[in-house]
Structure formats: C-alpha cells, structure tokens
Structure 1
Amino acid sequence: MVYILGGWQSDFSRNWAREGMEVVDGFAEAVENGLEAVGLDAKDVESGHVGNFVAELFANQGLLGGFFGQVHPDFDGLPTARHEAACASGSVAILAASAEIEAGRYDLACVVGLEQMRNVPGQRAAEYLGAAAWTGHEFQDATYLWPRAFSDLADEYDRRYGLKYEHLMRIAEINFANGKRNPNAQTRQWAFNDKSFTANDEFNPVVEGRTRKQDCGQVTDGAAVIFLASETRAAEYAAKRGVSLESLPRIKGWGHRSAPISYGTKVRASADNPYVFPQVRRAIEDARARAGVTDLGQIDVVETHDCFTATEYMAIDHLGLTAPGESWKAIEAGDIEIGGKLPINPSGGLIGLGHPVGATGVRMALDAFKQVTGQAGDYQVEGAKTCQTLNIGGSTTTTVSLVVGV
C-alpha cells in the first residue's frame, strides 16, 4: 500500500521567465515548499522522481533528476530518475515511485512534476508540444497541432453520435468557474461576457478546425510535488503527528495503458467499439478493479484531463457517467458540477487551473489528496472520500488513472 503524505503546488498564473526564474528555480521552490507543507526534512527522502515532458526544448535542459542534489545538500547521493510520457509524465513518475515503495526498495519518495512553457512565443510552444504526436506523419497541415487533433476528436464524436457545441462550451464554462474558486488557478482573474462561451469569432475565436479559444487548456509554467510513503513509514509519520494511519490517503488503485502514437491508428482501431478510446476505458476500469470499486457511486469526485473540451467530453462517457456518446446528458443534468452526481475538475482542470504538462499528473494526485482530506478550500466537494484521476498523454497514447482515498 502506498500512502500520500501531502505536497504543494505553485501558482499557475505566474510566468517564471518574467520573474527571472529558470526551470531549476521552479523545481527548488516546489520541493522546499513541499517539505515544509508536509513537515519533512530533505534527509527523510529516500528516492526522487521527476515528471517532465520537454524541458530539453523549452529550457534546453535534460537530466532533471540532478536538480535534487542541486537544490539541497542532503539530496546529494539520492537515487533519482526523470520520466516522460507527454501530458501523463507526472502520473508515470508517481507509478515509478509507487513501484519502488511496493517493492520494498524505499519507504519515502518525493515526486515532482514541472514544466516551463511560457518562455517562448506561442507558435514555437505549439511546435515543441507537437513532439507527443507522430512527428512528420500526422497533422502536418495544422498551425496548432493539438487544437487540430482534438478538433478531429470532436468531429469523430459528431460523426458517431452527434455533438452540439453548446455542450463543449458548458464544460468550459464550468471549469473556468471552478478555476475562480482556486487560489492557484491561472485563469482565476479572467473575465468573460455573454458571448464568450458561444461560437462567436470575436470573443471566442477559432484556433484550429472546430477548436476555439475557450475549448483550450492553458499554456502554463508550474510545478507540483507529492510525498509517497510505505505503510510502515506512513504509520511512523501518523504516530508522530497524533493522527491515525487510516486518516492518511492512499493510492488504492491504478491503471496504466498505452496505445499507438498515431491518432488515426487509434480511431480506426476503435471503429467497431462503443468507446472512441478503448485503452482509456481500460485504464479507468483497471484502477477501479485494483481499488475494489465496483460501482460509480463509490467515486465522489474526478480530476480529469481536459486539455480541450472535447477531451473531457470523451472522459465523461469513458468514466461511465453516461453510455458512450451520451456525455451531453451528464452535462445538461449538472452531474459534473460541484454538488452534482459526480463533480469533475472542481480544481478548474487544465482549462481553468492550467496545464504545465509534466506537472499535471502530480497536481491531480495532490488535488485528490486535498479532496479526500477536506483540504480543498473553496472548491471542496462535500464529504469526498474517494477521488479518481484520469491523466492522458498525447492523443491518449498514454493513459494513467489513480483511485485515491481514505
């Protein structure tokens, strides 16, 4: 059993380059604040893991595990590794750290997810992020690759089941509204009008294909950190603080599936499947099976990957909240809102909170920790005891889902 002791997240509205920060500074800030938040010392950590997608391109920097020893002398000698799985990099780092703990190699691991993305022009950022697609083979005519890819996903839903833009915009509206509740959200000060969530070319301009501005997750600088512990170490931690081991959240279940890197290959393969992305569905089901979850009603809240509104639309039916192709029913019923049947992205998600790519999976796990311990503040889901995360890399090339609960 792997326990989450807590962690820390940066303010996703910040621009590190404008503050004179390098990616190592964001890393150091996260680790130092994380240690303080959880009440640990650097010498307590036995293993370090970093989730990051493309620091080599944005920051001309690889070998990010070496940052641990750079930011604190007590980390000199610490075994470390960096993990890459596009937008799922942070979750894959969590899986690697968890596996070490479950194998008995170490009892306490620090997992950092981070990305610096606002230090280059938008077009260059789009080109860098395109490394998660099948380079040179798909979407070569697109100016902005990922908005085009998920425009194609919206087209696919429309072709198979029918799709109304008003339902995608309701997803955006909910996530931006949730972001206003989150003191770390990139968009918490953004203002909208009555045309912002419509197909209005002035207030919601087209980015690529049928993807418009409000459909998009945010290009973000940010970091998040969590600390994972074995049952033995978690029991020591709890006893020292006068709390029960049972009050500490744990990773109850996990799912990890991969699919071909080509978007087209995936969609063609699922032509006769009710789910557009069967491997996403399998990852969700794997996590629940390992956690002993047999009914959707056992999940209180979800943090899901909404790099675009079409991604969350897909996630709603793949999570089983509706039958395939009927995500619109949950949207219209208010099921995904705070106070609804299954609140999705009370944090604001990637659209409202922000999406520093390598940090997102770690941030999701941290928000799961906050929700199930009642520490989510203004975006707390009342009575939440179990949270499922769904983190996707590329065009669902890598999918990781966690079930976190007390």
Structure 2
Amino acid sequence: MPRKVFVVGVGMTKFLKPSPDRDYPEMGKEAVEAALADAGIKYDKIQQAVCGYVFGDSTSGQRVLYQVGMTGIPIYNVNNNCSSGSNALFLCKQLIEGGIGDVMLAVGFEKMAPGPLGNGAYKDRADPLGLHDKKTDELIGLVKGPLTPQYFGNAGIEHMKKYGTTEVHLAKIAAKNHRHGMKNPRAQSTREYTVEEILNSRRIYGPLTKLECCPTSDGAGAAVLMSEDAVIRLGLQSKAVEIIGMEMATDTPGVFTENSLMKIAGYDMTGLAAKRIYEKTGVSPKQVDVVELHDCFAANEMITYEGLQLCGEGEAGKFIDAGDNTYGGQVVVNPSGGLIAKGHPLGATGLAQCAELVWQLRGEAGDRQVPNARIGLQHNLGLGGAVVITMYRKGFQNTSKL
C-alpha cells in the first residue's frame, strides 16, 4: 500500500507584472525559504527536489536551490507547459510513496516576457502543439496572433453553441475572480471589476476580453512534502495537510479524431483525471469545499466546472448564475483570485495553487478564508498536454498507528 504523503510547508512570492527588477533565482529562493520556514525545517533535511519551469535553460532549478544550500541531493528540472509546477509536486509525492525518501521539495518559478505568450520558441523544428494547431485550423481556422486565447476562446464558443451559455457567464466568472483577488495580498491584480467593465474591456479573441484573460507574470512557489513517519518524527502534525489523491492525465485520442474544440483545450484529460481521483479517493464532487482551478481564461473555468463534475454536463451557466462557484454557494472556486487575478507565472502556478489550498485547509487564509474548509481540489492544466488534479484533506489522521 502506498505511503501517505503530506504537505507541511508552503511559500510563494507575490506575483508581479514581468519586470527586469527581479530574476528567477531571487524569486525561487524567496519561495523556498518561505516553505522551509513554514515547515520549521532546514534545507539539509530535504532529500530530493523537483523544479518546474517553462522558460529557462537546463539546470535553472540548481541555480535557484544552490543559493539555499549545496547538499549534493538529486535535483530534477521538469517542463510540462503550464502544469509544470504540479508536475514537480506529483513527482515528489511519487518519490515518497515509493519509499525513495521521506522529505521532498517541489518548487516552481517563472520569469516571463511582457505581453502575450509567443507561438513557439524554436523555428527550426516541429512545434509540440503543431497537431493541435492543425486540428483547430481544420475545425474553425486559426488567425494570426497568439494561439492560447484562440484555443480557449474556441472552447468557449463550442460550449455556448452546445449549451446556450453566453459572454455574460464568462464575465461573471472573471468578476468573481477579480473580487476574490482583492483579498489576496500576493495577487498581481487586486482591483474589483463589474461584469459590464469586463464585457467592455478590450476584445482579445472571440468571446474573450482582456479582463477574462490571465496576465503574464513573474513569481515562484514551493512546497515541502513528507511521509507520515517524517511528520510524526519531526512533530509537524499541526502543519500537515494530506494529499489523499493525485492524478495526472494526458490527451485522449478524441483530441484528433473528434471534432471538438473543447477537447483540444484539454476537456477530455481533465474529465479523465477527475473521474479517476473521485473513484480512488471515494470523495464525491459535492464534498469538495474549495477549488483552485486553472482559469487561464474564463472560458476554461467554465468548461472545467463540468470536467471536474462540480455541475452536470451543460449546466455551467446555471451553476454560475446561481453563485454556486463562490462564497455562500456550493463550492468556492479560486478564492486566491485564480490565474485571472492572482497571475500566471507558468511554472509557479501549480505550487501557488497548492499553497492556497494548504492555507485554506489550515484556516490560515485570512479575509478570503472559506468557512469550515475540509476538502480541497486543485486543477492545473498544460496544453499539449498534461493535467494534474490533486485532492487535499484537512488535518493529520494517523490511522496506521492505531
């Protein structure tokens, strides 16, 4: 039986608009030191570390961690697009579950260029998203400009045509996330916007306006993970939040064999990972209290409500209109402000989501605290593709010692 795994320390920087004033080593160091301080341990307790980032040269993880300590431990560098931070977390969990070690460090960081994401860094080789581009062009036609808003905007268009959702639903999602972000001191945007202001902001692509899109950001996040034995040995039961389930999935054949823009944007792999995690944990979607969801664009949050089974297929509009995605509703989605308000430094996002859920489940989230939060769900998506879904449970339950 796999060993239990707990998060015992988390840290993150404030997410900021890209700037030459801070570089990734400084941001990464800040997040790691905050996570170590939260766990109350020194770096020499860390047995292995996994570092997630998208834009950067090889061994950037070592460049960050050598500032904290040079203990000769294995350090891995991973890149799986926007899910890179959760990939680092997933690998640390597997190392502990497999008995490789008891104390692991996951860190994610990103220093981004201003403006929208470019369409591939290398022009002399195949684009990893080339097949996704081809299928999208076949279905709706690609236009000149950044591709990510096209992927997610097209997914939103498909949902609207199938289920009758509207641009107002997207604006309501963005307004909610900006409202939540106002209470997060680490968020890049802390201003509230009305639905009307969001609808009237600059059109980016299709139904998406600027205030419905995540900004480019600089930042870092980190988490210390431990086995149950390590938690007990170090007396960290009061800090420990258990990872009761974690699933990673990649694209299904339907991305290329079926005519669905939602599937190209990751809807199928989200649904697959969600189905697996509910089955393995025995937790129902209705039992989830708080969710950190990959709202790179408001359209992705809308379709992901259904992918995560927070509502039924085709019911996202009703779910939004009822306020079931915020305080006082069925579940609080993105109390941090999500990617739209908090920001999206690609490699850091998964660790920032983890940090928010740990704070929520410990009751340490301040003005944005979700009342009586006991079960948290994390969704982190990378196109091309990978999705990581993580289920967290409040408190330390030492059943193996009974």
Question: Smaller-chain TM-score range?
Answer: 0.7 to 0.9
- Is 1:8 the counterpart of 2:3? The answer is no
Q: Is the 8 A contact 2:175 2:193 kept in 1?
A: no
Say yes or no: does 1:213 pair with 2:210: yes
SS at match of 1:287: helix
The structural deviation recorded for 1:33 is: 2.4
Identify if the C-alpha distance between structure 1 residues 68 and 75 changes in structure 2 by more than 3 Å, giving closer, same or farther. Answer: farther
1:226 maps to amino acid: A
My pick for the range that moved more, 63-72 or 213-222, is: 63-72
1:173 to 175, 185, 189: 175
- Deviation, structure 1 residue 15: 4.1
Partner of 2:240 in structure 1?
Answer: 248
Read off the aligned partner of 2:185 and give its amino acid letter.
P
The residue aligned with 1:62 is 58
Partners of 2:177 and 2:121 in 1: how far apart? 23
CA contact (8 A) 1:368 1:387 kept: yes
TM-score normalised by length of structure 2 = 0.88
Residue pair 1:254, 1:290 contacting (<8 A) in 2 also: no
2:346 aligned partner, one-letter code? V
Cα RMSD of the aligned pairs, angstroms, is 2.5
Instruction: Please give the secondary structure, in 1, of the residue aligned with 2:245.
Output: strand
**Per-residue deviation, residues 152-183 of structure 1 (Å, max 9, x unmatched):** 10111122222211111000000000000101
Q: Which runs of 5+ in 1 are unaligned?
A: 56-60
d(CA) in 1 for partners of 2:108, 2:61: 11
For the residues of structure 2 that align with 1:207 and 1:101, how far apart are their CA atoms?
A: 43
Does structure 1 conserve the Cα–Cα contact (< 8 Å) formed by 2:24 and 2:64?
no
Residue in structure 2 matching 1:162, options 161, 164, 177: 164
Instruction: Name the counterpart of 2:372.
Output: 383
TM-score, normalised to structure 1, is: 0.87
Cα gap change, 1:75 to 1:355, in 2 (>3 Å): same
- 2:344 maps to 1:343: no
Count of residues paired in the alignment: 380
1:254–1:288 contact (8 Å) kept in structure 2: no
Amino acid at match of 2:8: L
**Do the aligned partners of 1:48 and 1:68 also contact (CA within 8 Å) in 2?**
no
Task: Give yes or no for the alignment of 1:104 onto 2:99.
Answer: yes
Distance 1:249-1:336 versus aligned 2 partners, 3 A rule: same
2 CA distance for matches of 1:82 and 1:281? 27
Distance in 2 between residues matched to 1:315 and 1:326, nearest whole Å = 11
The 1:112/1:315 distance shift into structure 2, 3 A limit, reads same
Matches of residues 255-334 of structure 1 in structure 2 within 5 Å? Answer: 255-259=247-251, 265=256, 268=259, 277-293=267-283, 295-334=284-323
Match 1:402 to one of 368, 375, 390 = 390
Identity of aligned residues (%): 28
Aligned partner letter, 1:7: V
Structure 2 counterpart of 1:26: 27
Q: CA deviation at 1:208?
A: 2.0
Once residues 104 and 228 of structure 1 are traced to their aligned partners in structure 2, the CA distance between those partners, rounded to angstroms, is: 13
Q: For residues 264 and 82 of structure 1, what CA distance do their matches in structure 2 show?
A: 28
Which residue in the other structure is 1:35 paired with? Answer: 36
Aligned to 2:74: 79
- Partner amino acid, structure 1, of 2:220: A
Is this contact kept in 2: 1:142–1:208, CA < 8 A?
Answer: no
Distance 2:228 2:41 in 1: 17
Report deviation, 1:69: 4.9
CA–CA separation in structure 1 for the residues paired with 2:128 and 2:320: 29
Q: 1:218 to 1:182 in 2, by over 3 A?
A: same
Instruction: Please say if residues 2 and 251 of structure 1, whose CA atoms lie closer than 8 Å, have aligned partners that are also in contact.
Output: yes
Pick one of 367, 371, 383 that aligns with 2:356: 367
TM-aligned CA distance change 1:313 to 1:386, over 3 Å: same
Match of 1:141 in 2: 143
State the AA in 1 paired with 2:119.
E
The amino acid across from 1:9 in the alignment is M
Going from structure 1 to structure 2, the CA distance change for 1:233 and 1:194 (only over 3 Å counts) comes to: closer
8 A Cα contact 2:379 2:390, kept in partner: yes
Q: CA deviation at 1:75?
A: 2.9
Shift of 1:85: 1.1
Q: C-alpha deviations, 1:245-292, integer Å up to 9, x for none?
A: xx62110011111006x9962752799x9x982321110121222222
